[in-house]
């Protein structure tokens, strides 16, 4: 990359940050004229076009980016965003998916893909129509449905999970609503027409007998054994529990419940192999006898738990997922999520290697000096994976993100660096510089002041504070106030009831201002509000 091209790129980044989109595009174009093989230039210009709303040009530049650098996740992020803006969701999804093949830990790609997935799910769910209730209220066939709380609960379930439609398929009101949403002309009898008349209900109530126990003697005896087994299980008397569950199984060998209960005893006894084998048998028995999906899901989930106890995480994930395929269960879903988190943490621990981490960091430094910021970013990220306790590499990667105009990610890395090493002066200076680029002068000043606390002779921190003052001077009063309201210190001052009362007194009585300013603590807070433009002294 020529120095001149790099200079145009930096000017483009500054213009993009300042919202001068035409200037940014011009500068990036000049950089491309000097070096048309640099994918970063096309990527940045794609971002500028996208901000401008010129999505076709944004897409063209994003395509050029991945053409030049097909293994760079950021390029696919640009490509996916451009496709998404143009309404080509499937193409966007494919772009994000391809990017994750090259960079499976890329947070931007993961987030973008999840958001797109949610968007596509909403689009594929007719019940997610935001004006659903309004449409139903305007339709004479469905208006009265909205008066039924039970029906409204069904709608909420279907809004979040349309796969549960089969649960309510027998409710003609739901099918009527679906026909309206899909634009299909179907006539259903009104739900109210099927309701028995009050008199009929009364007659039935008076003559209805308690339901007969249709179980056979063998079934009743098996259930009795199961209850005895349950009581023993609750008392942790597992020997007795086994005896009663075995009796129930011998009497009714096709009942999945008895097998599942006995498997639970094996689990508590930490006999995980026996538990798994019996659960597999329970699943087979359940399928052969058409047991409800929820009952088949239980032994599958227990197999998952048994494998997790045995540290066989691959099989544990497999069976938890199989269980959720049979029937949705929040507890099983939570177990699966937690297990995947454990697997990821263990994989990260195995991958750690301080020596290789330092090698990757040194490589990142070399690439950074050459101006290959995407390459440096990849090396620094590898170093972070190898040793996430090294504060320096987060500071290095923050510098890289800054060069790529990813200021939010840069700030996040600096914050992580300072958590690891609160006395890292360079990180405070970097934080101040990033905040200045983001026009967050309060944050910038705070960072420079922290650096001066650690080294009162730090010239870069002093220069930074001067830069803050200069930038503040260019802000309009409204911009200063808006920025100040995002400052946590200002927020705390304004939330303080005592300070609010003092400010009211100062507004009503100017003489009170002089009295309050005698107090050093109050004077400091008032100075902060004056400096930020929240209040003015006349």
pLDDT recorded at residue 356 = 94
pLDDT of residue 297 exceeding 50: yes
Any idea which residue has 């990260």 for tokens?
A: 348
pLDDT band per the 50, 70, 90 thresholds, residue 538: low
pLDDT recorded at residue 125 = 66
Straight-line distance from the first to the last Cα atom of the chain, in angstroms, rounded to the nearest whole number? 54
Concatenated DSSP letters for 209-229?
PPPP----HHHHHHHHHHHHH
- From residue 138, how far is each of 131, 132, 182, 194, 206 by CA, in Å? 11, 10, 16, 23, 40
Residue 195 DSSP label: S
Half-sphere exposure of 375 (CA within 13 A, CB side): 13
pLDDT of residue 110 exceeding 80: yes
Q: What is the mean pLDDT of residues 31-39?
A: 91
pLDDT band per the 50, 70, 90 thresholds, residue 109: confident
pLDDT recorded at residue 244 = 92
pLDDT of residue 427 exceeding 50: yes
Nearest CA to 30 among 58, 65, 4, 48?
4
Choose the weakest-confidence range: 429-443, 463-477, 500-514: 500-514
State the chain's maximal CA–CA distance in angstroms.
96
pLDDT recorded at residue 184 = 55
The overall pTM is greater than 0.75: no
User: How many helices (H) does the chain have, and how many strands (E)?
Assistant: 30, 0
Nearest CA to 400 among 375, 373, 366?
373
Distance CA 270, CA 274 (A): 9
pLDDT digits (tens, 9 = 90+) for 128-167: 665 666 667 667 778 788 777 778 777 777 777 766 776 7
Distance CA 453, CA 404 (A): 30
Q: Which residues of 499-534 are buried (b: 16+ CB within 10 A; e: fewer)?
A: beebbeebeeeeeebeebeeeeeeeebbebbebbbb
Half-sphere exposure of 166 (CA within 13 A, CB side): 3
Pick 480 or 33 by higher pLDDT: 33
Distance CA 480, CA 458 (A): 27
pLDDT digits (tens, 9 = 90+) for 40-92: 999 999 999 988 888 899 999 999 999 999 999 889 999 998 988 887 878 88
CB of 16 closer than 8 Å to CB of 405: yes
Half-sphere exposure of 88 (CA within 13 A, CB side): 14
pLDDT band per the 50, 70, 90 thresholds, residue 119: low
Half-sphere exposure of 436 (CA within 13 A, CB side): 21
pLDDT band per the 50, 70, 90 thresholds, residue 305: very high
pLDDT recorded at residue 147 = 75
Phi-psi region of 255 (alpha: psi -120 to 50; beta: other; left: phi over 0): beta
- From residue 78, how far is each of 59, 124, 524 by CA, in Å? 8, 25, 46
Pick 532 or 491 by higher pLDDT: 491
Token reading at 354: 């301080």
Any idea which residue has 């430094």 for tokens?
A: 365
Going by C-beta distance under 8 Å and a sequence separation of 6 or more, which residues neighbour residue 477?
533
Distance CA 273, CA 315 (A): 13
Concatenated DSSP letters for 428-494?
HHHHHHHHHHTT-HHHHHHHHHHHHHH-TT-HHHHHHHHHHHHHHHHS-HHHHHHHHTT-HHHHHHH
Mean of the per-residue pLDDT values for the chain?
84
CB of 265 closer than 8 Å to CB of 233: yes
pLDDT band per the 50, 70, 90 thresholds, residue 181: low
């Amino acid at each position: 990359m020529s120095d001149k091209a790099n200079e145009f790129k930096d000017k483009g980044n500054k213009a993009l940050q300042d919202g001068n989109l035409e200037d940014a595009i011009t500068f990036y174009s000049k950089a491309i004229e000097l070096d048309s093989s640099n994918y970063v230039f096309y990527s940045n210009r794609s971002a500028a076009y996208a901000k401008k709303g010129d999505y076709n040009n944004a897409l063209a530049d994003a395509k050029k980016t991945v053409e030049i650098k097909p293994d760079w996740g950021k390029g696919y992020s640009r490509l996916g965003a451009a496709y998404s803006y143009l309404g080509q969701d499937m193409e966007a999804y494919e772009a994000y998916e391809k990017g994750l093949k090259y960079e499976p830990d890329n947070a931007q790609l993961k987030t973008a893909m999840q958001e797109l997935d949610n968007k596509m799910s909403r689009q594929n769910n007719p019940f997610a129509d935001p004006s659903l209730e309004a449409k139903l209220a305007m339709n004479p066939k469905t208006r009265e449905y909205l008066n039924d709380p039970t029906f409204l609960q069904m709608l909420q379930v279907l809004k979040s999970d349309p796969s549960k439609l089969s649960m309510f398929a027998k409710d003609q009101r739901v099918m009527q609503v679906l026909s309206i949403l899909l634009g299909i002309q179907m006539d259903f009898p009104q739900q109210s027409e099927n309701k028995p008349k009050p008199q009929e209900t009364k007659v039935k109530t008076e003559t209805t007998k308690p339901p007969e126990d249709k179980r056979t003697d063998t079934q009743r005896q098996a259930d009795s054994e199961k209850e005895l087994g349950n009581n023993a299980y609750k008392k942790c008397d597992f020997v007795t529990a086994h005896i009663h569950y075995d009796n129930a199984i011998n009497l009714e060998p096709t009942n999945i419940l008895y097998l599942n209960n006995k498997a639970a005893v094996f689990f508590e006894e930490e006999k995980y192999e026996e538990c798994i084998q019996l659960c597999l048998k329970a699943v087979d028995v359940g399928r052969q006898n058409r047991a409800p999906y929820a009952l088949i899901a239980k032994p599958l989930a227990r197999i998952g738990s048994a494998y997790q106890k045995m540290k066989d995480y691959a099989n544990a994930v497999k069976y938890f997922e199989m269980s959720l395929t049979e029937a949705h269960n929040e507890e099983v879903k939570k177990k699966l999520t937690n297990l995947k988190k454990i697997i990821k943490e263990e994989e990260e621990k195995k991958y750690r290697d301080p020596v290789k981490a330092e090698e990757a960091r040194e490589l990142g430094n070399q690439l950074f000096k050459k101006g290959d910021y995407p390459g440096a970013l990849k090396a620094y990220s590898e170093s972070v994976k190898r040793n996430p306790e090294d504060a320096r590499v987060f500071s290095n990667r923050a510098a890289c993100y800054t060069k790529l105009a990813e200021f939010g990610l840069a700030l996040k890395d600096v914050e992580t660096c300072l958590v690891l090493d609160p006395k890292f002066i360079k990180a405070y200076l970097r934080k101040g510089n990033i905040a200045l680029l983001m026009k967050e002068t309060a944050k910038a000043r705070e960072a420079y002041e922290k650096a001066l606390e650690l080294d009162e002779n730090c010239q870069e921190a002093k220069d930074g504070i001067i830069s803050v003052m200069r930038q503040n001077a260019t802000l309009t009063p409204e911009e200063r106030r808006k920025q100040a309201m995002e400052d946590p210190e200002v927020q705390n001052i304004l939330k303080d009831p005592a300070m609010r009362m003092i400010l009211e007194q100062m507004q009503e009585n100017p003489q009170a201002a002089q009295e309050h300013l005698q107090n050093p603590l109050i004077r400091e807070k008032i100075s902060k509000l004056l400096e930020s433009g929240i209040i003015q002294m006349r």
